[in-house]
Chains A and B, each alone.
Chain A
Amino acid sequence: MENQDISLPLEEQTEEFVVNIGPQHPSTHGVLRLEATLDGETIKDILPHLGYIHRGIEKMTESLGYKQSIYLTSRMDYLSAHINNQACSLAVEKALQVEVPERAKAIRIIMAELQRLTSHELWWGSCAMDIGAVTPFFLGFRDRERILEIFEANTGNRLTMNYITPGGVMQDVLPSFVSDLKTLLVKVKGYLAEYDTLITGNIIFQRRLQGVGVLPKEMAISLGCTGPTARASGVSCDVRKYHPYDGYEKLEFKEILNDGCDSWARYLVRMEEMRESIYIIEQLLDNLPEGEYRAKMKGVIKLPAGEYYQRVETARGELGVYIVSDGTNKPYRMKFRTPCYSNLAAVKPINVGAKIGDLMASMATIDLVIPDIDR
């Protein structure tokens, strides 16, 4: 901070000042406040303030039954609602050693991958909007709507579905599910091509992201980043590959890695993940197993006393569910290791020293969902 040196003539001296970004700022995508200390346009320090949307979900689970707790988890990362439900259901099933029917497993994976698609489509729109393009935002929402229609028709809800439940899924999918999805996937592929012409190939957009928000591999590991954020730094961490659940081990898919470490790499990883999700769904569609969609479970679930842990890959990274049970019908403690909380840690180190204008670009590609941080 040589400019703050008082021996300099007065007109050349600068001062640090603090800018509050948020809690109501469109590019923080929720109520997160970043207290940024600036020297001119250079960021000196960033301090995130959390808790604006803290609802105490972890504490609430202690007074609710297991099924009732699982439905609450849709409200954590609301863009990965199915996957959150799946994580908790898997933990409960592991504790009770319930075998989930094959059909339920396949439906779960399809729903989870569709959820990843909706999440990434929304991210694509908002990422481009943060950088200054408005049309992509509407296109992202338009395409997400098509998938939400499928959710609405099959599960009854659009955002907080409460569809995946211990033992399987709440209700069987519609008879037209497979044909609906096939027409949808053809459309989504067209949309992805549109995204590429509109934004990916745009030199101005590329220059805005390249070399911005560099998160080196070592730092990504030590901060505990997961998901596309870490995979864009070359960290291989896909839970679907390393700890497969619900039959991911039988499917063929690539883990998307990129060694770019910057915002552009994170953008590319997410775009490629959308294609991979489509590929996963296509493998399941042609031979969706017949049979039961739900294993028989008791109305009130009681877990044997002990500790259970289950990890899944949400659209943003690794979600861990840790249940401590004392043998009653309510969890003694339910702890969620949410991906956004760990990824938030990367905001400070990748932005200190950068310009304030680039903060939005690197925030956009980390893709934080604030209710997931606060819970």
Chain B
Amino acid sequence: MKTVLRYLQEVALAFRSLWSGLRLTLYFFTHPRKEIITEQYPENRTTSINIPERFAGEVVLTHDENNEHKCTACTLCEMACPNGTIKIISAQVETEDGKKKKVLDKWVYNLGMCTFCAQCIDACPQNAITMKNSFELSVYNRSDLIKTLNKPGSKLKEKS
């Protein structure tokens, strides 16, 4: 008799604890506007989407309004990158006073191999590169992932 009673008690307790959990679920079900956690992504891409400033989306070489960048082609970023994502192609040019000088020819960035670890940005002594918070980066051709980051006609910013 006692065991039967204990058994029934336990069943009642199980139902009660089940109810307290389900009540919470029911509360969320009846209060759908309290905390909306679903983001309507493709619809909200221009409106309410929140991408933090620091989000590591892709590496960019910053150019100022005169189409000048700060990269001296020192290749420190290339050495700091663990994945071989960066290739700095430099050219030797002759300045007016006859000296040979190394300048940046192509800043080649393979987005497909980048893991967004920001070690290149950390390594750059000139602060020439930054992370941009862009995120819709997919392309149709794999070759489009290999980008030249210095804009055509851009040149090294003179130190003032």
Contacts and interface: CB of A to CB of B under 8 A. Distances in A.
Nearest to A198: B21
A178 interface: no
A156 B17 contact: no
A30 to B, nearest CB: 20
A171 B10 contact: no
B111 to A, nearest CB: 16
B42 interface: no
B37 A202 contact: no
B119 A203 contact: no
| Interface majority SS (helix, strand, loop, mixed), chain B | helix
Interface in A195-230: 197-199, 201-204
Contacts, number: 72
What class of interface size applies to chain A in its complex with B?
20 to 34
A154 B54 contact: yes
A153 interface: yes
The CB with the most chain B CB atoms within 10 A, among A154, A165, A198, A199, is that of A198
B131 interface: yes
Interface residues of B, number: 28
A291 interface: no
B17 A71 contact: no
Interface string A300-343: 10000000000000000000000000000000000000000000
A55 to B, nearest CB: 13
Interface of A: 64-65, 67-68, 71-72, 135, 142, 145, 149, 152-157, 160, 162, 165, 170-171, 174, 194, 197-199, 201-204, 299-300
* Among all A-B residue pairs, the 4 with the closest Cβ atoms: A68-B82, A156-B56, A153-B52, A203-B14
26 contacts: A67-B119, A68-B80, A71-B82, A72-B82, A142-B37, A149-B52, A153-B52, A153-B54, A155-B54, A156-B54, A156-B131, A157-B116, A160-B117, A162-B117, A162-B118, A162-B119, A165-B122, A170-B118, A194-B24, A198-B21, A198-B25, A199-B21, A201-B17, A203-B13, A203-B17, A299-B123
